[in-house]
Amino acid sequence: MIFLFLFSTSTLTGQAAQTFNILRYLVKCGHQVLAIADQNRVGNLNSCLEKAGAILLNDISISHKNKLINKCREVLRLRSVVMDIKPDFVITSFSNDHFVSYLALRDVNSKPRVVRFYHSKKVRSDWIHKSIYKNTDIFVFYDCDIYAEFSKKYSCMKDKFFLLPAGVDTDVFIPVFRSTLRDKFGLNKDSFVVGYVGMFQKGRMHRELIDLFFALKKRVDNSQLLMVGSGETFYDIYRYAYKRLGKTDVVFTGFVDENTLVDAYNVMDIFILLKGGQDSSLRMLYEAQSCGTYILTYKSYPASELINVSEYGDFIVDVTDIEKTADIIFSSIKNIKNEMRYLIHQRVKSRFDYRMSAELFLKICENLYYRS
């Protein structure tokens, strides 16, 4: 089968991550996989797509940041590509992917089946979205709450909806020997490392995380904070952190490659996520746990399912209560046992290895392909 993946981004993060895992699996299974992404902005996605074995179409770009004139070009170019290669499936993960494909595929002969990986917590029901959804063949969800909400509003389409387990590459995100890692990140040998991985964007509660760490320092004097990632609010958070904390208390890495990311998860004693993004993707929690790292986060369906399997993590009752949350971290220290990392990894692998989800997805596509 021929699969055409659309990514309205240049960065492998958030909504793109789970879809990328599916893409890699399809390549390994011998299917022809092509991809279109944002070619005009800096990011790591294009190189990751090529490394995974996908055919990256460099002469076309798609982005949620494009204005109207470029949006029209996206539609026309995508229509031309589809008519030329005649894919069996067009795979979308972002609203922009979905919208552009909807316009591009209108009245196309040999129309491909359209798949939407749906992560958004907002379920729209205006006329344009109803029309887009009506012309979509498969919806894939990773969050039970979003699946339930979508099913409630679009019950007439329920036969198109599939709830899959989230996945992580358990061959990549593994526990590693930790003793040599602290020097790599400029951390003290005996420090208690609190970690964060993710995009630096508005609404992610990074300031609150800095304040939380400041409160924790009163309880655990040898603690250090490691923050991995970048984004539009990076320098604002960077300045805020160094106003609140000492220069050796917090380490910022910016964007890192995959090997460094694995090392970062492994050097952390506890990974904290106060708030995710606009979508339901919480891939960093799965990656951290696959490396055997203890997690503390807000209550959600994916996090609850993950901690239920790993038996290694806790929830924040009220993210706005800094002192109470600092007490939770302090009381969690006795539960953090780094010698258990391999065991935690095995638990996560037994349920959340990305190949399990990808295999289910492929069966869904095969059923639709051979039924048509």
Query: What whole-number distance in Å separates Cα of residue 299 and Cα of residue 14?
Result: 18
- Residues contacting 237, CB < 8 A, separation 6+: 200, 206, 207, 210, 227
CA 157 from centroid of its chain's CA atoms: 26
Same domain membership, residue 210 and residue 120: no
Same domain membership, residue 196 and residue 344: yes
Show the beta-strand stretches assigned E in 93-145. 113-118, 138-141
Q: Is the pLDDT of residue 338 over 90?
A: no
Q: Is the pLDDT of residue 209 over 80?
A: yes
Instruction: pLDDT band for 39, please (50, 70, 90 cuts).
Output: confident
Total of domains in the chain: 2
Same domain membership, residue 365 and residue 235: no
- Residues contacting 286, CB < 8 A, separation 6+: 166, 167, 168, 173, 302, 306, 348, 352
Same domain membership, residue 10 and residue 121: yes
Q: What range does the domain containing 213 cover?
A: 181-352
Same domain membership, residue 102 and residue 33: yes
Q: Give the pLDDT of residue 310.
A: 94
Q: Give the pLDDT of residue 79.
A: 94
Query: What whole-number distance in Å separates Cα of residue 184 and Cα of residue 52?
Result: 27
Overall size of the chain counted in residues? 372
Backbone dihedral angles phi then psi of residue 281, each to the nearest 5 degrees: -70, 120
Same domain membership, residue 288 and residue 230: yes
% residues pLDDT > 70 (the chain): 98
List the one residue out of 263, 271, 287 whose CA is nearest residue 169: 287
Same domain membership, residue 54 and residue 38: yes
CA 270 from centroid of its chain's CA atoms: 19
- Residues contacting 142, CB < 8 A, separation 6+: 18, 117, 119, 163, 164, 165, 166, 280, 281, 302
Report how far apart the first and last C-alpha atoms of the chain are (Å, whole number). Answer: 13
Same domain membership, residue 185 and residue 267: yes
Per the prediction, the chain carries an average pLDDT of 91
Same domain membership, residue 194 and residue 100: no
List the one residue out of 168, 84, 107 whose CA is nearest residue 354: 168
Q: Is the pLDDT of residue 345 over 80?
A: yes
Instruction: pLDDT band for 278, please (50, 70, 90 cuts).
Output: low
pLDDT tens digits, residue range 215-245? 999 999 999 999 999 888 999 999 999 999 8
Same domain membership, residue 149 and residue 201: no
Same domain membership, residue 87 and residue 128: yes
Task: Answer whether residue 227 is part of any domain.
Answer: yes
CB 347 within 8 A of CB 310: yes
Task: Answer whether residue 208 is part of any domain.
Answer: yes
Q: Give the pLDDT of residue 289.
A: 96
CA dihedral 191, 256, 48, 141 (to 10 degrees): 60
CB 222 within 8 A of CB 248: no
Q: Is the pLDDT of residue 165 over 70?
A: yes
Which has more pLDDT, 295 or 18?
295
Task: Answer whether residue 108 is part of any domain.
Answer: yes
Q: Give the pLDDT of residue 210.
A: 95
Task: Answer whether residue 24 is part of any domain.
Answer: yes
Task: Answer whether residue 174 is part of any domain.
Answer: no
Residue for token digits 């196309």? 108
